[in-house]
Structure formats: structure tokens, C-alpha cells
Amino acid sequence: MALPFKGADFLNLDAELSDEERMIRDTVRQYVSKEVVPIVAKHFRDGTFHKPWISQVAEMGLLGATLEGYGCAGLGNVAYGLAIQELERGDSGLRSFVSVQGGLVMYPLYAFGSEEQKRKWLPEMAAGRKVGCFGLTEPDFGSDPSGMRTTARKEGSSYVLDGTKMWITNGGIADVAVVWAKLDGVVRGFLVERGTPGYKTSDVEGKFSLRASVTSELSFDGCRIPAANLLPKSEGLKSPLMCLNQARYGIGWGAIGAAMACYSEALEYAKTRIQFGKPIAGFQLVQNKLVQMLTEITKAQLLALRVGRMKDKGEAKPYQISMLKRNNVQIALEGARMARDILGANGVADEYQSFRHMANLESVYTYEGTHDIHTLVIGENITGISAFS
Ligand code: TGC
Ligand code: FAD
């Protein structure tokens, strides 16, 4: 039987965590070892999302975990980050589900919704009985969502939506979509329920990445929704970008989980794989890779912990969250490639997990703002000059 997952904690950062934070991390760690790791390779191979995970993560209070009230757990940002880290140690697809449900659907309901909308959706979503998705990206507008073509127009007591959203996580399984569309030229958020005439979803096939997650296209063709489905406090592109801060923060922690999974796998493998008469862990070049991976994980942990503590005080700025997402996903992706290399030919088989993490991290590098978009966000902050266009 495999040993319990120990993570990586070279600087004893555990000492910086509260008992509650450690307890939440360890609970989710055990859950992932029992309910995710044993089956995720099959789901990745089959291209399926394992729906029973939804009620299981809900049971642990991980959906909309940092929100207060409405059945949400009201966790601190570090406790939430540690939980997300453990989920992504299992698979980025499960972490994506939780990020979208909490950061991109429950958060906008909480921040921009009416009291009636909050009461209707938040407790059901916290319990995992309802699933949501977030439609911002369009086929022709990814990094630059300001150009979106999806529109809403007011007709009596309804809004009518037209347009297409692309690459939408959870789209095909969502009961409700938070859709960003221009109303009189201004970006606003709308709730569109599954089954509404004129609203269709179709799942993206043939992904090499995030295969254990549902990704879909959403299309709106004269889709009429009640006027009460407008998120009344949403106003301008700033509203969806505020949601992205929540999800990007979680990704910064999640990437550490994927990186630790790859590092641990490579370390164990290197200690037992014999070539030229000794374990490959005894070769300097292999040690160099392992040291590099652990060093980057340790720096990523420090960054995540600091931004988490700042977020708890309401002090984390979007460009600081950009640095967290940008750095931690990059080091996780590079570490996954090194782990795959250390595993040799075995590294390309799904009996091992590093390749799956590596493939997932290619998407994570692109979504929630590409690596280079975050470079430009930070570049603008330090120079005062925008280099986006
Ligand atoms: P810009 O003029 O800079 O900004 C418009 C207004 O928004 C404000 N703002 C932010 N506010 C809060 N948080 C942020 N991160 C913000 N970034 C900007 C800004 O201050 C301004 O406010 P105001 O009051 O002046 O109106 O807008 P821009 O059009 O120049 O765009 C800036 C840019 C490129 C950084 C932005 O468009 C961007 O972030 N692009 C990347 C798009 C992106 O990340 N898409 C993600 C889609 S969702 C997704 O990928 C989910 S994957 C989920 C999963 O499965 O885990
Ligand atoms: P583009 O914007 O076309 O970028 C292509 C390349 O050009 C990138 O390398 C980019 O960095 C570069 N580039 C673009 N502009 C500049 C510039 N100004 N300077 C320098 N380089 C630039 N979206 C949602 O709304 N909701 C979701 O739930 C969601 N889930 C997703 C799930 C998956 C699996 C994936 C892969 C994507 C998902 N997305 C989602 C979409 C994601 O947010 C976009 O893919 C991302 O924002 C990038 O947009 P794009 O793919 O159109 O690339």
C-alpha cells in the first residue's frame, strides 16, 4: 500500500499555520488520497468528470468556502488555499470545479446579486445540489474580454441574450450560468438557467488537458430571461475581473498541490530506480532536478502564504494575485516536466501522475489570464505603462 502523502515542507511552514488550517489541510489531504487519487487516472483517460466528488467537497464545506452566511463555511483565505492545494494534488479538474463554483459563480452572486438571488442559489450551491459556470471568454475574445460580442437587450420584463461563450468549465453540467454580456455597451452579469429556450451547451471534445473536467461552449440565440436575472450590482468589466481575483488566488495555491504531487512521485521513483548499478537519485544531475523542484515549491509556498494573509486583511491587490498565479503555475509546470523526465519512459504512462499534472497545467497556464497577460499586469504596475496594446 502507498504511504500517506506527506507533502513538501522544507522550511517548516507548518509552524506558521493555525491548528484549524492544518486540520483542514490534513482532512482534504486524506480525502484526496482516498477518493480522488485511486480513480482520477481512469477519469482522465475516459474524459469524464466524477460527479460524486461534488457532494463530497460540499460536505467538507469547500464550495464558496470563504463566503459568510447562506450555508457557506466562512473559512479564512489560507485555510481555503490549503484545501485547494490538496484538491489540485489530486487533479486540476477537481480544483477547477471548486474554483469555478465558489470563486466565479457563488462570489458574483454574493457580491453583485440581489438578496433574493443569494437566497435562491447560494445555499443550494454550497451544498453541491446546484452547479454553476462562468461565461466570460468568447471564441474571438479571450485575453481581451472587453471586446465581447455577447449582448443583452431589455424587452418589457425580460432580457434577451445573443452570443457565444467558449471554453467554459462546468458548462455542460451547470444548472445556472453567470453570463457576461453588454447591455447598452456596458458589461453586466446575467443568470441563465439550464433549459431556458435559446440557451444550448455543447462539450469540447479532444482535449489533451483537463480531461477529468467538463469544458463547454454556451450559445445564446434570442435567449429570453426574466429581468430579475440581471445581477443588479454588476457594472462594467471590473465586475468579472473582481471574480477572477478569487479564482486566480485559488489557482496560486492549487498549483503547489500539483507541484508537490510531481515532486513526491519523482523523489520516490528516483530512490528506487536502479541504473548503472545504483539508484538514479544518487546521480548529481537527478539531484539537481529534485533540488530545483523543492526550492521552487518552497518559494511558491511563501508567496501563497503571504498573499493569503494579506487577503484575509483585505490588502491583497490584483497585481499581487497576478504574481502568485503567474509564478506558481509556471514553477509547477516546469517541475511536472522535470518529474516526467526523471520517470523516464514510465513518465509517459498514466500509471504515474506527473504527465497528467503536466498536461493539466498547460491549461492552467492559459486560463484565468495567460502567463503573459499576468506579466503585463505586473509590468504595468511597476512601470506605470500599459503594454497590452
Ligand atoms: P482595464 O481598463 O485594465 O480594467 C477595467 C476595469 O477593471 C479594473 N480591473 C480590475 N478590478 C479588479 N480586479 C482585477 N484583476 C482587475 N483588473 C482590472 C480596472 O481598474 C478598471 O476599473 P475602472 O474602475 O477603471 O473601470 O481593462 P482592460 O480591458 O485593459 O483589460 C485588462 C486585462 C487584460 C488585465 C483583463 O482584461 C484581463 O485580466 N484579461 C484576462 C482575461 C481572463 O483572465 N479571462 C479568464 C476567463 S475565466 C477562466 O479562465 C476560468 S478558468 C476556471 C477554471 O477552470 O479554474
Ligand atoms: P488569446 O487571448 O488568443 O491568447 C493567445 C496567445 O496570445 C497567448 O499566449 C497570450 O498570452 C498571447 N497574447 C494575447 N494578448 C497579448 C498581449 N497583449 N501581449 C502579449 N501576448 C498576448 N473562460 C471562461 O470565461 N470561463 C471558464 O470557465 C473557462 N474555463 C476554461 C477551461 C479551460 C480548460 C481552458 C483551456 C480555458 C478556459 N477558459 C474559460 C478560457 C480562458 O480564460 C482563455 O483561454 C484565456 O483567457 C486566454 O484566451 P484565449 O484562449 O482566447 O487566448
pTM of the model: 0.98
389 CB within 6 A, ligand 1: no
Dihedrals φ, ψ of 160, to 5°?
-115, 125
Pocket test for ligand 2, best of 180, 367, 385 (most atoms within 8 A of CB): 367
N- to C-terminal Cα distance for the chain?
54
Of 115, 119, 128, 17, nearest in space to 65 by CA: 128
Pocket test for ligand 2, best of 106, 140, 143 (most atoms within 8 A of CB): 143
How does pLDDT run across 364-388, given as a tens digit for each residue? Answer: 999 999 999 999 999 999 999 999 9
Quote the CA–CA distance of 55 and 141 in Å, as a whole number: 33
Of 50, 42, 39, nearest in space to 214 by CA: 50
Pocket test for ligand 1, best of 144, 216, 241 (most atoms within 8 A of CB): 241
Question: Where would I find the H helices in the chain?
Answer: 19-31, 37-46, 52-59, 77-90, 92-99, 107-112, 115-126, 238-272, 284-312, 318-342, 354-366, 371-383
CATH classification number, 238-383, choose in 2.60.40.1930, 2.60.40.420, 3.50.50.60, 1.20.140.10: 1.20.140.10
CATH classification number, 132-229, choose in 2.40.100.20, 2.60.40.10, 2.40.110.10, 2.60.120.10: 2.40.110.10
Dihedrals φ, ψ of 214, to 5°?
-90, 130
Quote the CA–CA distance of 291 and 270 in Å, as a whole number: 13
Question: 13-126 belongs to which CATH class?
Answer: mainly alpha
Q: How far is CA 328 from the centre of its chain?
A: 13
Is 368 one of the catalytic residues? Answer: yes
180 CB within 6 A, ligand 1: no
pLDDT one digit per residue (tens) for the chain, 389 residues: 466 899 999 999 999 999 999 999 999 999 999 999 999 999 999 999 999 999 999 999 999 999 999 999 999 999 999 999 999 999 999 999 999 999 999 999 999 999 999 999 999 999 999 999 999 999 999 999 999 999 999 999 999 999 999 999 999 999 999 999 999 999 999 999 999 999 999 999 999 999 999 999 999 999 999 999 999 999 999 999 999 999 999 999 999 999 999 999 999 999 999 999 999 999 999 999 999 999 999 999 999 999 999 999 999 999 999 999 999 999 999 999 999 999 999 999 999 999 999 999 999 999 999 999 999 999 999 999 999 99
Quote the CA–CA distance of 4 and 350 in Å, as a whole number: 20
- Ligand closest to CA 84: 1
Q: What is the pLDDT of residue 138?
A: 98
Look at the alpha carbons of 257, 241, 69, 191 in this order and tell me if their dihedral is positive or negative. negative
Q: Whose CA is nearest to atom 17 of ligand 2?
A: 388
The residue annotated as part of the active site, out of 86, 88, 217, 368, is 368
CA count, 13 A, side-chain hemisphere, 57: 31
Atom of ligand 2 lying closest to residue 204 CA: 34
Quote the CA–CA distance of 207 and 285 in Å, as a whole number: 33
Quote the CA–CA distance of 102 and 77 in Å, as a whole number: 13
Enumerate the domain spans of the chain. Answer: 13-126, 132-229, 238-383
Q: How far is CA 167 from the centre of its chain?
A: 14
Any residues with Cβ below 6 Å from ligand 2, and which? 100, 134-137, 142-143, 167-169, 210, 215, 363, 366-367, 370, 372-373, 376, 388
SS (H, E, C) 27-81: HHHHHHHHHHHHHHHHHHHHCCCCCHHHHHHHHCCCCCCCCEECCEECCCHHHHH
Look at the alpha carbons of 333, 141, 47, 251 in this order and tell me if their dihedral is positive or negative. positive
